[in-house]
Structure 1
């Protein structure tokens, strides 16, 4: 196991370097840069542009140097904890992301817990009561959750929350707490506003997890070892939990590789519709404005989380399922 982990970590280094090269190249691919977009926006609004300030900023951040030099400076800065400067916000990237990162992690973790608490009991019930009225009803609700666009559900729940409960879901907190430090009153405001985003973001994930858990558990319940356990008189709940449910969780463990970056990126479209102070809209805005250091740092952070998540899921799968081996070759 230790040798496998070391090999994967050594493989992750060239993987991240290749990803950083692709990220930098893709951000640079559109014509122009942030400064040209900024000048065009000012001119469209009839404002004047100070060419000396633009020239100074380009020289300060190396935009007058070749692309390969800027790439090496960017990667070298990240290795020392310097993620660059956000031109649009006129702040270091770490300062721009800091407050939003905490809210994004909080919302995403609550959404993941909500998804698990709803999906696991329903998926187990549907598998153990196959073709019952309850199974049909829950299957219909699951398919409805998969088919409903998240942004449409967000708009509907925003309207109902405002009409029925008088809660205006336009941000993650009331307006007076937007720039205030964390307090008990601010936490209560966040908790009140977070109900709708958690339901909206978790709906599609819950529906998908129910369907996969049901299918995998049904496959395990029809295998010979389950029939043998029942014939030996093993209690039904123990016969379900000890092996079939454990073996059917492989997909759940494998999803860790996608859960970790999802915690940071958040549901971008839903966050835009609900005006949430998360990192998703920030990333989209950075890509649109070619704020390269902010966008590039985001994408590299997501790539690192993906590599780490896949490694964690592989190790957890090997521990959960003894049929999975971390080394190749034929076992005799």
Structure 2
């Protein structure tokens, strides 16, 4: 049977905790802290329990499961509207141009400005795939299942969406960007600050971070070089986001300087191209590879399978139908695999 993406449950805490210990640090949305992970699951349960209503500040946690073994091998998260209960901070990289008539020279200085420009956006994040499963398209399934979930519950999400990519982390687990900038004001190393943020939120940034722009020329070269660069393990994720239509527009994470990618929600490729059809037949043979999802909220399931058009509906492969519990005459959402 195919792997499926499904809503996380309280029983998944041990799986999430074991995966969190494998992230290597700098992974704010999946901290290796049982209480913080339990709080995420509690918040997710509340979101799955709300059947309808306007956009609110909610979190949905999804997991990748092997139905044959019951093992959870990955996870991802979807935030409906960031920055509503606590400020959502980013650095905006900009340029200040100044001209000296006496010197006949123009000077352009790059500056980092603390901003909450992205407040109110939805966010996809918290994606982690077990190291032993990073082959066979499971990362693609896990990542793109979020967009089918958003499409299925479109009214619960904002019109803009973002994704924060982890920045450069050195071999010792430190952040050159943090050490060159924020660490000088906070009196704590990157690991401690990152863990504190994962558990307690961003408010300490508002309390202690300088509000004036920072000239990048005043930062160490190691910090400047890290601005807007993803962690090496996140380069594939960045390329996948770009294929979906996300762009880097000079917003970076305040902790590690990693890039923040943004897109209009309805223009994200997997959301825009997803279609809902009736299953007219379930068969073993033929069709094009696709992501297929069925159900809403706690009943949501997503997998990969074969789909082919048939009149005003589709024929769905047996493995995919079994994985997500699809039946003839039932409706599914699907989008082509690429």
TM exceeds 0.5? no
TM-score tier, shorter chain, comes to: under 0.3
TM-score (norm 2): 0.24
The structure number with the bigger radius of gyration is 1
Pick the structure with more helix per residue. Answer: 1
Pick the structure with more strand per residue. Answer: 2
TM-score (norm 1): 0.25
The answer to which structure, 1 or 2, has the higher relative contact order (CA under 8 A, 6+ apart) is 1
